[in-house]
A and B are shown apart, each in its own frame.
Chain A
Amino acid sequence: MVIEIPLVNITARNTHIIPFEFEYYEPRSLEEALELLAKFKGEAKILAGGTDLLVKMKTRIIEPKVIVNIKRIQGLRYIIEENEHIRIGALTTLRDIEKSTIVEKNLPALHDAVKVMGSIQIRNMATLVGNLCNASPAADTAPPLLVYNARVVAMSTRGKRFIPLEEFFKGPGITALEPDEMLVEVIVKKNNKGSSAFEKVSRVVVDLAIASAAVYAEISSDGVIEDSRVAVGSVAPKPIRTRILEERIKGLRLGSEELKKAIYEIDREISPITDVRSTAEYRRHIVKVLVWNAIERVYRRIRGECV
């Protein structure tokens, strides 16, 4: 059997510069941006934070013909608390989220996540929406938003649609967005009954997750899980909710052997792979520890023992 050896075009990559030309647009309004997306369809890429997009362009993972820089559009950078909802705009950076008391108070798992994402420089540039649109299985903002049942707002010249985040992720790097659509907002419903937390493990402190887990839970004062939502990252082709697990841990006590056993149910829901960051076996193991740790942290939070 002759094995076809794939060609690796190393010469094309160049991180000194952006190694190819593109058409560049700097729309001043959302309408203008949407029109551009409608016009160029799949040939255009949106530039917001740039921390993922420009790396992919320099290393030739993608080669968009058109760049639509949305950073000059007014009114897309916000974190608003509105009745039962918190709304986060497309240009809101990870650092904005980290510094937001609204997020810290209401969405502690998201707050945990952004604090352990990249460096301060990266967080200052990268946007939450960009992290979601990148649709990496390792996107740290995804598991928290999944446990918050977040919805995202996609807009195009054809109109507006609300997509549950869980349906937004389709696979590695693939989202539910149509080529002419732009993700303009993330909406999270507040939930004051329980609390939430996020945990991750990585090779060094500044790194992509080997695996991650977010837990929202309502826990009684004597440590029984009354309700929960759990989501995990880097253990499947996309960030996922683990509903079987959620069902199984209901009514179990923190720190108990039963809880530990129930967490093993997650094996039925995940499909980790071995890659340069770690092994499938390790991911299978560590994600359980992360879920356990996250539940513990939620409980401490509910009891006011940690922020």
Chain B
Amino acid sequence: MCINMVKVAFKVNGEHIELDVSPRELLINTLRSKLGLTSVKYGCGIGECGACTVLVNGEPVLACLTLTVDVNSKDIITLEGLSKNGLTDIQRAFIEEGAIQCGYCTPGFIIMAEYMLREVPNPTISDVKEYLKGNLCRCTGYINIFRAVLKAAKSRVSR
């Protein structure tokens, strides 16, 4: 069937959303402009920088390369959803370790760090590099981000 406006229904940060969208609408623009979730950052639009990373059914997805029609009936988590009940251990570690500078890439990094700790609760530095290598940062040289993620992992494991 050919579709020109599509009714989509999906969950964002636990909330049910129903929208009519054009098939060419990108998830990044739906989340940012229609739902006000501006933690999802545009950095390149071609999947190179990771700033628009969100979790779709628990898996990391680049919102700049995803059609909104494609998340129909799926469950999306953005950074806004991760910290609904206060700062997470990762967010606290980012603050404590000086892992933030300009902050523009930070949401993407925190989403990926969260995903990694769910998959690999006890990561090595190589794991951290592997999971975060798709997120570009131009300020920190990544080093304090590594520290923060390893620290959060430690605190999560010991909990």
Contact = CB atoms under 8 A, between A and B. Distances in A.
A122 B134 contact: yes
Contacts of B53: 121
A80 interface: no
Given A54-B65, A58-B45, A16 B29 contact: yes
Given A22-B23, A24-B4, A67-B23, A120 B45 contact: no
A175 interface: no
A71 B57 CA distance: 15
Contacts of A15: 44-46, 64
Interface string A69-87: 1010000000000000000
B70 interface: yes
Interface in A17-69: 17-18, 20-26, 47, 50-51, 54-55, 58-59, 67, 69
A118 interface: yes
B47 A55 contact: yes
Contacts of A22: 23-24
Contacts of A16: 29, 42, 45
A242 interface: no
B1 A55 contact: no
A256 interface: no
Given A15-B45, A24-B4, A59-B46, A69 B69 contact: yes
A58 B46 contact: yes
Contacts, number: 90
A149 interface: no
- Which of A22, A26, A47 has the most B CB atoms < 10 Å from its CB? A26
A119 interface: yes
A205 interface: yes
Interface of B: 1-4, 6, 22-24, 26, 29, 42, 44-47, 50, 53, 59-62, 64-67, 69-70, 112, 115, 130-131, 133-135
Interface of A: 15-18, 20-26, 47, 50-51, 54-55, 58-59, 67, 69, 71, 95, 118-122, 124-125, 205-206
B66 A206 contact: no
A137 B1 CA distance: 35
A206 B137 CA distance: 14
Given A15-B64, A51-B47, A58-B46, A23 B2 contact: yes
A26 B67 CA distance: 12
A163 B50 CA distance: 36
- Which of B47, B50, B112, B115 has the most A CB atoms < 10 Å from its CB? B47
A75 B127 CA distance: 32
B107 to A, nearest CB: 13
A25 B67 CA distance: 13
19 contacts: A15-B46, A16-B42, A18-B24, A18-B26, A20-B24, A24-B23, A25-B3, A47-B67, A54-B67, A119-B50, A120-B112, A120-B130, A121-B62, A124-B59, A124-B60, A124-B61, A125-B47, A125-B65, A206-B133
